[in-house]
């Protein structure tokens, strides 16, 4: 998969070993229920227009790695305010594209860990991290 910065068309390759952990947690209908004084149930509901979470976590310990240079680029991009991106899946069974921005409320990039556990000696060192986006 890859993340494309809309303003510049720059792209960062993200290994396909990431798993969309909250894909099926999203509830597209918001609903409020309350009872009237006479006991009648009042239901208000509406369809959400945006805001679906896309949390990418490593599928397991041996997958979902990202090179330091790409993680640094994502960190830089996450610091840009009001910047939009396209998250593009490129699995054989899944070629979906999502318009996203970084989910700062939940922590845009969390749990970065160096795979080998030593101090990084180059930008080619691999990290494991969780990436959090919101669909627009």
Asked if the structure places residue 96 within a domain, the reply is yes
Check residue 63 and give its pLDDT: 87
Asked if the structure places residue 30 within a domain, the reply is no
Q: Measured between alpha carbons, how far is 100 from 6 in angstroms, rounded to an integer?
A: 10
Asked if the structure places residue 37 within a domain, the reply is no
Q: Measured between alpha carbons, how far is 46 from 84 in angstroms, rounded to an integer?
A: 25
End-to-end CA distance of the chain: 18
Q: Measured between alpha carbons, how far is 113 from 64 in angstroms, rounded to an integer?
A: 11
Give the domain extent around 12: 2-24+49-135
Report residue 28 CA to chain centroid gap: 17
Check residue 24 and give its pLDDT: 96
Asked if the structure places residue 67 within a domain, the reply is yes
Q: How many domains does the chain have?
A: 1
Give, for all 136 residues of the chain, the pLDDT tens digit: 999 999 999 999 998 889 999 999 999 999 999 999 999 999 999 999 999 999 999 988 888 899 999 999 999 999 999 999 999 998 888 899 999 999 999 999 998 888 887 777 888 899 999 999 999 9
Helix residue spans in 19-131 (DSSP H): 68-78
């Amino acid at each position: 998969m890859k993340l494309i910065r809309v303003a510049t068309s720059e792209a960062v390759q993200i290994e396909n070993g990431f798993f969309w952990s909250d894909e099926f947690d999203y509830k597209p209908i918001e609903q409020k229920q309350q009872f009237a004084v006479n006991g009648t149930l009042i239901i208000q509901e509406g369809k959400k227009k945006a805001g679906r979470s896309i949390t990418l976590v490593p599928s397991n310990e041996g997958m979902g790695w990202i090179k330091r240079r790409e993680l640094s680029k994502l960190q830089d991009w996450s610091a840009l305010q009001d910047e939009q991106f396209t998250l593009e899946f490129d699995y054989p069974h899944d070629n979906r594209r999502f318009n996203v921005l970084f989910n700062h409320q939940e922590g845009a990039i969390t749990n970065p860990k160096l795979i080998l556990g030593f101090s990084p000696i180059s930008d080619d060192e691999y990290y494991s991290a969780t990436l959090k986006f919101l669909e627009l």
